[in-house]
Amino acid sequence: MMLHTLYKKWVLKYPLAILILLLSSLLLFSTNISKLEIDASAETLLLDDDKDLAFTRTINKRFKGQEILVLAYKPNTPLLSKQSLDNLKSLTKNLESLPRVESVTSILSVPLLFSPVQDLEDLLNNTRTLLSKDMNLTLAKNEFLTNPLYKENLVNKDFTITSVMITLTGDSKYDTLLEERKVFKDKALKETLTNEEQEAYTRLNHTFKSHRDLQRILQEKTITDVRKIITHLEDNATLFLGGVQMISNDIVGFVKSDLVIYGSLLIVLLILVLGILFRKPRWVLLPILICTLSIIAITSALGFWGWEITVISSNFIALQLIITLSIVLHLIIRYEELNKLYPHASSKRLILLTMLSKAVPTFFAIITTIAGFSSLLFAHIHPIINLGWMMSAGIVLSFIIAFIVFPTVLMLLPKSTVFVKKSSAFSIPKLSTNIVLADKKWIFIFTFISIIFSVSGASKLIVENSFINYFKKDTHIYKGMKVIDQELGGTTPLDVILTFKEHEVEVELTEVNSFEDSFEAEFNNIEDEDQYWFTDEKIALIQKVHTYLEEQPQIGNIQSFSTLLDIGQKLNKNQALDAVEIAILYKKIPDYYKKLILTPYVNIEHNQVRFSTRIVDSNEDLRRNLLIQKLNKDLNHLVSEEVAKTKLSNLMVMYNNMLQSLFSSQITTLTLVLLILGVMFLLLFRSIKLTLIALSVNIIPIGIIFGFMGWLNIPLDIMTITIAAIAMGIGVDDTIHYIHRFQDEFRKNPNYTSVIEKTNSSIGNAMYYTSLTVMIGFSILTLSNLIPTIYFGLLTMLVMAAALLSNLILLPKLLLLIKPLRS
């Protein structure tokens, strides 16, 4: 009654005023759209409460971890030819001139230790590089191919490609702000912040965001500048730019491109489809207007709240279109039905009947759709939680806007003529009716086959997140990542940290060879005790762990202190260095080279050793979680707890933690969501039988999706794992509208056969038009450069088709078989 009064006395009485008020409010609110930002940084894909994240940040600080861009340089001439080296010199000079570049490491600047082999004392006093006078290029080439520091890391095994490491300047302010913000976050979890603390936290967040945004702009400019520099060499060489920063930078570019280009094409395609289906300008322009206003409203809200679009939430506009279109098309179909049923009724009366008859089912459809997306709120990753809130807020806004704009616009237009659509023998709703009424067993046979298909396919599902597979094979970023991955030692960083137990170190001075004799006097006068840290026991364990890591096929390049020991052995006439010799070398080696080849792998202060590895991301047999489990298990057996403990860190571990957490939370919460939906169905339908039927019908599309993904080897990653929530939201919407209409028709004529015919021919058309429109519209996403977006488009189309068939065929068949309603 309240809704009846609201529409009759306000919305339909003052349509122009209401519409102007709404449009004006949206216009004012839309100023917040400019605040909407895209964030594809690594931070958006990490768990907030991940202990490995805190550990990784600590390790990066201790071992001086830096941001690095990797440039793969493949000259058209031999790598050590004068032209190739001159071009590399010019490239290095230009890169070093960039403001955010701290240093450039290449074959030109690294120390050559075996070209030729020198006495250790001479080598330390006079370290040679490729630019040194009288350098023997043959010896240099041999060293690049055999030195464990450089082989398949700085150069590929064919000696046709070399990597140029572009080290970016550190951002100590970012680290400081991040640490300060973490202190506030941790305190807020334990106790309520005071007003002063909350204000300080708010100011800190604002400062952090402003600084981060500025650094993003500078990083984007740096990458753009690097790309401009390498274009000058494209006639003489093939160059590919890679690195973690490149991945996030290119994803942002592709997301922006998708939002602008494909968003526009999607609108055009929807106009064409709606025009073909309804053949009335009002039924084309009105849905587009409502969809546009809904998108403006939600993007303005996101800008106002300061929520950013990430890789995970990049398709929220497409999802918003699905929900909004569904609402509007149901209203259009209902209006046309009433117009055909009551041709002499006034426009105002038809609009009022339309809005009142669709208010309850649409409201419950909205609530249950929100419940479907609520499964995302249980994740521990902010972008996924935000996607859940985004969709919940967007759905509510779509509902409000549709139920205001639809009646007000129609009130300002002349009454619509009766829409007479030519009957087609191939109409899906009509065809589904014939199947339901004629079939006695095949529907359930196919349903059983679908269940078997779903269960068997779901058992093959894997949880993976391969960044190289985010991009099409013809994109520059894919080609670059593949070259670096397969030719230069891998892509995703994984560190193994060995922490030795604290104990006194005793170094026994014994008779040593001539090398030690030359430094004996100096060694005896050493006051710094760092060199005493190196013991034979530690050295043996470090080499043991390094050898184990080399045996793992999924691991590409490995760098550690063991690498330096191998080099030292070669320099020492193939005699292994003992603890005393290493201690002398540690004291004698120049600080520049100590920072280059020792500091990244040994931290004496914290008794730790770092094994820096890179995972071959393109390895088709790579199963990240299984590899991490295997490494943890094997290393725990390899290293005695009494001597040291091992721990894995870096991006590989953190991304895997995120995926495993997301997968487990989705499995757990989907059960909870089904229970919530069951309660809602029970409140709406007031029938246990109808509730169980509705739940059964909605489980089938989810199973089919997981079945297809399993059989087609589409992994569950940060994008595809949200498809279950989408399937739930879409399927529930159709189910509620169908059963609500079925109940209405049954009250008029309690004949199941007749009711199914009428329901399919009425609400079935609305479901069919909605699904068809969305499926055709989403086909445009298959043109994206981002593979996850393509998968999202294809899987959404499959969800729509599965939900449509389940609700048009299985649902009426179950209603006909169980007969849950009484006369």
What residue ranges do the domains of the chain occupy? 49-246, 421-459+687-823, 488-649
Q: Which two tokens stand for residue 732?
A: 């529930």
Say yes or no to pLDDT of 525 above 60. no
Query: Which residues partner with 495 through β-bridges?
Result: 612, 649
Tell me: the pLDDT tens digits for 757-807? 999 998 998 899 888 888 887 788 888 888 888 888 898 889 889 999 999
Question: What per-residue confidence (pLDDT) applies to 503?
Answer: 58
Question: What per-residue confidence (pLDDT) applies to 508?
Answer: 44
The residue among 572, 702, 729 whose CA lies nearest residue 118 is 572
Question: What per-residue confidence (pLDDT) applies to 636?
Answer: 94
SS3 405: helix
Task: Evaluate if pTM is beyond 0.75.
Answer: yes
CA dihedral 693, 699, 703, 706 (to 10 degrees): 160
Say yes or no to pLDDT of 506 above 60. no
Question: What per-residue confidence (pLDDT) applies to 1?
Answer: 62
Residues 6 or more apart whose CB falls under 8 angstroms from that of 758 comprise: 745, 749
Pair 287, 329: CB distance under 8 Å: yes
416: left (phi > 0), else alpha (psi -120 to 50), else beta? beta
Residue 294, CA distances (Å) to 256, 396, 402, 508, 774 in order: 20, 10, 8, 77, 16
Q: What fold characterizes domain 421-459+687-823?
A: Multidrug efflux transporter AcrB transmembrane fold (1.20.1640)
How many other CB atoms are there within 10 angstroms of residue 629's CB atom? 12
Tell me: the pLDDT tens digits for 110-126? 989 888 887 777 777 77
- 752 φ, ψ (degrees, to nearest 5): -60, -40
Alpha-carbon distance of 170 to 156, in angstroms, equals 28
Question: What per-residue confidence (pLDDT) applies to 416?
Answer: 85
The residue among 471, 400, 443 whose CA lies nearest residue 696 is 443
Query: Which residues partner with 241 through β-bridges?
Result: 71
The residue among 299, 237, 210 whose CA lies nearest residue 30 is 299
Of 60-69, 355-364, 553-562, 645-654, least confident by mean pLDDT is 60-69
Residues 6 or more apart whose CB falls under 8 angstroms from that of 103 comprise: 96, 167
Pair 74, 51: CB distance under 8 Å: no
Report the percentage of the chain scoring pLDDT > 90: 49
Alpha-carbon distance of 814 to 695, in angstroms, equals 12
Residue 436: its H or E element: helix 428-438
Three-point CA angle 504, 505, 508, nearest 5°: 135
Say yes or no to pLDDT of 521 above 50. no
Average pLDDT score over residue span 88-96:
95
Question: What per-residue confidence (pLDDT) applies to 509?
Answer: 42
Please count the residues of the chain.
823
- 619 φ, ψ (degrees, to nearest 5): -65, 115
DSSP strand E in 511-598: where?
Answer: 555-559
pLDDT band at 422 (very low <50, low <70, confident <90, very high): low
Alpha-carbon distance of 62 to 761, in angstroms, equals 69
Q: Strand pairing of 237-242 and 555-559?
A: unpaired
The residue among 808, 820, 800, 813 whose CA lies nearest residue 691 is 820
Say yes or no to pLDDT of 310 above 90. no
In terms of average pLDDT, the best of 122-131, 186-195, 274-283, 348-357 is: 348-357
Query: Which residues partner with 609 through β-bridges?
Result: 498, 602
Question: What per-residue confidence (pLDDT) applies to 191?
Answer: 87
Question: What per-residue confidence (pLDDT) applies to 529?
Answer: 60
Average pLDDT score over residue span 218-229:
92
Say which residue the tokens 């968003």 belong to. Answer: 263
Q: What is the DSSP string of 721-742?
A: GGHHHHHHHHHHHHHHHHHHHH
User: Helix crossing, 428-438 with 811-818: angle to 10°?
Assistant: 30
DSSP class of 33: G
pLDDT band at 533 (very low <50, low <70, confident <90, very high): confident
The more confidently predicted of residues 126 and 13 is 13
Say yes or no to pLDDT of 311 above 50. yes
Question: What per-residue confidence (pLDDT) applies to 725?
Answer: 73
How many other CB atoms are there within 10 angstroms of residue 65's CB atom? 18
Our separate counts of H helices and E strands in the chain read 30, 9
Say yes or no to pLDDT of 221 above 70. yes
Say yes or no to pLDDT of 485 above 60. yes
Say yes or no to pLDDT of 226 above 70. yes
How many other CB atoms are there within 10 angstroms of residue 66's CB atom? 14
**HSE-up of 88 (CA within 13 Å, CB side)?**
28
Alpha-carbon distance of 560 to 282, in angstroms, equals 69
Say yes or no to pLDDT of 505 above 60. no
Say yes or no to pLDDT of 527 above 60. no
pLDDT band at 522 (very low <50, low <70, confident <90, very high): very low
Pair 684, 364: CB distance under 8 Å: yes
Q: Which two tokens stand for residue 56?
A: 């990784």
Average pLDDT score over residue span 728-740:
86
How many other CB atoms are there within 10 angstroms of residue 149's CB atom? 19
User: Helix crossing, 752-778 with 723-748: angle to 10°?
Assistant: 150
Alpha-carbon distance of 793 to 720, in angstroms, equals 10
Report the percentage of the chain scoring pLDDT > 70: 94
CB neighbour burial string for 234-259, b if at least 16 within 10 angstroms, e if fewer: eeebbbbbbbbbbbbbbbbbbbeebb
Pair 87, 230: CB distance under 8 Å: no
Residue 812, CA distances (Å) to 429, 702, 735, 815 in order: 11, 19, 10, 5
pLDDT band at 170 (very low <50, low <70, confident <90, very high): confident
Q: Which two tokens stand for residue 361?
A: 């089912």
Residue 341: its H or E element: helix 316-341
**HSE-up of 74 (CA within 13 Å, CB side)?**
16
Average pLDDT score over residue span 539-566:
94
Question: What per-residue confidence (pLDDT) applies to 164?
Answer: 96
pLDDT band at 70 (very low <50, low <70, confident <90, very high): very high
pLDDT band at 472 (very low <50, low <70, confident <90, very high): confident
Say which residue the tokens 């894995």 belong to. Answer: 648
Question: What per-residue confidence (pLDDT) applies to 722?
Answer: 73
User: Helix crossing, 263-278 with 316-341: angle to 10°?
Assistant: 10
Query: Which residues partner with 648 through β-bridges?
Result: 496
Average pLDDT score over residue span 494-507:
76
Average pLDDT score over residue span 315-328:
86
Q: Which two tokens stand for residue 744?
A: 């209405």
The residue among 268, 326, 379 whose CA lies nearest residue 46 is 379
Alpha-carbon distance of 302 to 294, in angstroms, equals 12
pLDDT band at 718 (very low <50, low <70, confident <90, very high): confident
Establish whether the linkage from the previous residue to 553 is cis, with ω within 30° of 0: no
**HSE-up of 113 (CA within 13 Å, CB side)?**
20
Say yes or no to pLDDT of 79 above 90. yes
How many other CB atoms are there within 10 angstroms of residue 285's CB atom? 14
Alpha-carbon distance of 500 to 480, in angstroms, equals 38
Question: What per-residue confidence (pLDDT) applies to 805?
Answer: 94
Residues 6 or more apart whose CB falls under 8 angstroms from that of 540 comprise: none
Pair 647, 55: CB distance under 8 Å: yes
Question: What per-residue confidence (pLDDT) applies to 419?
Answer: 65
Pair 608, 498: CB distance under 8 Å: yes
Alpha-carbon distance of 644 to 638, in angstroms, equals 10
Alpha-carbon distance of 358 to 223, in angstroms, equals 53
Three-point CA angle 559, 565, 569, nearest 5°: 135
Pair 30, 296: CB distance under 8 Å: yes
Average pLDDT, the chain: 87
Q: Which two tokens stand for residue 273?
A: 């489809």
